[in-house]
Amino acid sequence: MKVSNLSIVSTILTVLTSQSSALKCGIKGVTMPCIGDTDSRYNQDISYDLKEQDNFWNSIGGLFLEDMVLYNSDGIPETNNAILPPQLGTYDFSNVKGFLNVTVDGSRYYYHRYLLVKHNSDGPGGMQLPGLVNPTDLYGASTFEKDGGAMQMGIAQGFGNGGFTAIGAGAGENPALVKPIGGKMLLTVWPNTMNPVIKDRSFEVYESLYCVDSECKESNAYTEQYHGFQDDIHTPFVNFMRMSRTKVDKDTWMAEISKVYTDFSIPSPDDPFTLIPGFNVPAFSQPFDATTSDKTPPCVTLECPTDENWALIDPYLGTSPYIEPDGVLTGGFIAGVTISSIVVALLIFYMIYKRGVEAREKRVKMAVLNSLSKSMSLKLSKNLTAKDLNEMFQRIDDDGNGNIDKDEMKKLVEEAGVANMSDRDYDVLFASIDLDGNGTLDFVEFCAFFASINVVEDGTAFEIA
């Protein structure tokens, strides 16, 4: 079976190409650079931990005291918010006290806040009603982008509003994106999202947080909320919030919330406000006793996300769409292998060709020797004399011109009848013993031919050198 050098090269390249799928990227001189070298999304050495992706997350966590002012659409502080029936008075949202607990742990962040709002003492007969407690839990996690940003998973707000509500990725809506900027700012953009509680109501939120110092001990936040409606009853409106935050230790945080309980007349759940029906509920009671407890509930709304909720957003629980592909051989490597393969193939075929030519030379030389031995009844020996050689030469040289040509050699072999030789065989014979390449053998070349033959003592076997 004949095999061309091109087929061998093709086979080698086919094997290399199929094997390249098992190679890693970035092998110097062999495979193309890894995408992850320049794109962090594909780099498995970069974790999903927020603090590792952006140092800002190391300073954002902790306990904070907040002073917040809520503004109406016209920019005037909302001092008389009628969240209750008119006869029960209003609440002052221009002096809201916030108590915030932010935790950043691995890929996740947790945002727990109590907002305490004071009644304006304009209830029945000038009565001061209990202060309002409005809890909020927000949760988020890093993304497959590995860019230091996070995406909010869901929100729980208030007491008894139906529990934790998945938003963004959890509910198929546009997620709120949270992104550190420049090491001192945190931007939150919450695109248009349908309200999970009130039908036909949507809202958009933009919030910026600016850290005054490098450790974010003092910070200021600004929030815009855009409320839209899909009906003909309500009018869209906008409100704004400004707040200042101060990072404190746990003892200060607990002491301050206990003080605000007193200042805002927020009773203990063990001693609820009962003068007017409807106030014996969590929204008008202390969520916990800060004088006896050293920690808050894990979820201030008392509604916590489940493992199923986290699985919708936590990258550690999902599969990244950014998978580093298998190694791709470089053009230089393929060219090098191709050239090397061709060289190897040529060497192999040269050796095969050479051995074939040598075998053919031995075969035709043996045919000539056997023909001489038979036609001249000559016993070949290692001790042939010049006279013996000249006699053989003259026997073959029919025209006596002192040279043996191919036709004369052919006549010798055919008359002896010991071998069948083609014209190509005679070409090979003369190519190997016609030293000057003139197409004939003189006596010197004839003697040189015999000098290359080893003959056993009895003259019955020959060995071509």
Q: CA-based diameter of the chain, in Å?
A: 155
User: What does CATH list as the number for 22-312?
Assistant: 2.40.128.20
Q: What value does the mean pLDDT of the chain take?
A: 82
One CATH from 3.40.50.10470, 1.10.238.10, 3.20.20.120, 3.30.465.10 for 360-452: 1.10.238.10
For residue 245, what are the β-bridge partners?
66, 219
Three-state secondary structure call for residue 106: coil
| The two structure tokens encoding residue 308 | 């199923």
Kindly give, in sequence order, each residue whose CB lies less than 8 Å from that of residue 439, ignoring residues fewer than 6 positions away: 405, 406, 430
Q: Which residue has the tokens 């075929």?
A: 349
Q: Which of 52-61, 91-100, 158-167, 314-323 has the lowest mean pLDDT?
A: 158-167
The Cα 441–Cα 408 span in angstroms is 10
Q: Which of 80-94, 165-179, 291-305 has the lowest mean pLDDT?
A: 165-179
The Cα 463–Cα 465 span in angstroms is 6
Q: What percent of the chain has pLDDT over 70?
A: 82
| Residue ranges of domains in the chain | 22-312, 360-452
| Whether residue 349 has pLDDT greater than 90 | no
Highest mean pLDDT among 186-190, 255-259, 351-355: 255-259
Closest CA to 299 of 137, 154, 413, 458: 137
Q: Which of 1-5, 132-136, 322-326, 396-400 has the lowest mean pLDDT?
A: 1-5
pLDDT for the residue 457: 47
Label residue 459 by pLDDT band (50, 70, 90): very low
The enclosing H or E element of 204 equals: strand 201-211
pLDDT for the residue 329: 76
pLDDT for the residue 284: 93
Which comes out higher in pLDDT, residue 237 or 112? Answer: 112
Q: What is the mean pLDDT of residues 110-115?
A: 93
pTM: 0.67
Task: Give pLDDT tens digits for 170-206.
Answer: 444 567 889 999 889 998 887 665 555 555 566 678 8
Highest mean pLDDT among 115-124, 277-286, 300-309, 455-464: 115-124
Query: Which amino acid is it at 104?
Result: V
The Cα 156–Cα 131 span in angstroms is 20
Which comes out higher in pLDDT, residue 58 or 166? Answer: 58
Highest mean pLDDT among 223-232, 235-244, 256-265, 372-381: 256-265
Q: What is the mean pLDDT of residues 409-428?
A: 81
> Are 285 and 272 contacting, i.e. CB atoms less than 8 angstroms apart?
yes
Task: Give pLDDT tens digits for 294-330.
Answer: 778 888 888 888 888 888 889 999 999 998 888 777 7
Label residue 1 by pLDDT band (50, 70, 90): very low
| The two structure tokens encoding residue 407 | 């036709």
Which comes out higher in pLDDT, residue 399 or 21? Answer: 399
